[in-house]
Amino acid sequence: MDDFEIDDNSIKHNLILGTYFAFTTLSTVGFGDLYPKSNYERLFCALILLVGVGIFSVFLGDFTEILEAYKAIKKDPDDF
């Protein structure tokens, strides 16, 4: 908290920092300008990653089902 001066920032600024960190981490870009420095921060970030991967998996599964349904609709009746 001291390294990134979180206590001195406004809530809006901390929200922007947190969102930026989450997107760069979950997209595997990880620029390295924001990173966890204590064990508590590492644990919290690990939980963010686990939840993010889980949510991404659900969205990807739903997207795959939509594509399969679309393929079934567009299939020719003669292909059966």
Q: Under 8 Å CB-to-CB from 68, ≥6 apart: which residues?
A: none
| pLDDT above 90: residue 12 | no
Task: Kindly list the domain boundaries of the chain, sorted by start residue.
Answer: 6-79
Q: Under 8 Å CB-to-CB from 14, ≥6 apart: which residues?
A: 6
For residue 13, the model assigns a pLDDT of 79
The band of 80, judged by pLDDT with boundaries at 50, 70 and 90, is: low
Number of Cβ within 10 Å of residue 72's Cβ equals 8
For residue 63, the model assigns a pLDDT of 95
Q: Under 8 Å CB-to-CB from 30, ≥6 apart: which residues?
A: 24
Rounded to an integer, the average pLDDT of 22-29 is 74
Higher per-residue pLDDT: 33 or 20: 20
Instruction: Report yes or no on whether pTM surpasses 0.85.
Output: no
Summarised one tens digit per residue, pLDDT across range 46-68 is: 888 888 888 989 999 999 999 99
Question: Which range, of 12-26, 29-43, 45-59, averages the lowest pLDDT?
Answer: 29-43
Q: Are 40 and 53 in contact (CB under 8 A)?
A: no
DSSP-derived secondary structure letter, 27: T
Q: Dig out the tokens for 30 from the structure.
A: 């990880």
Fold adopted by 6-79: Helix Hairpins (1.10.287)
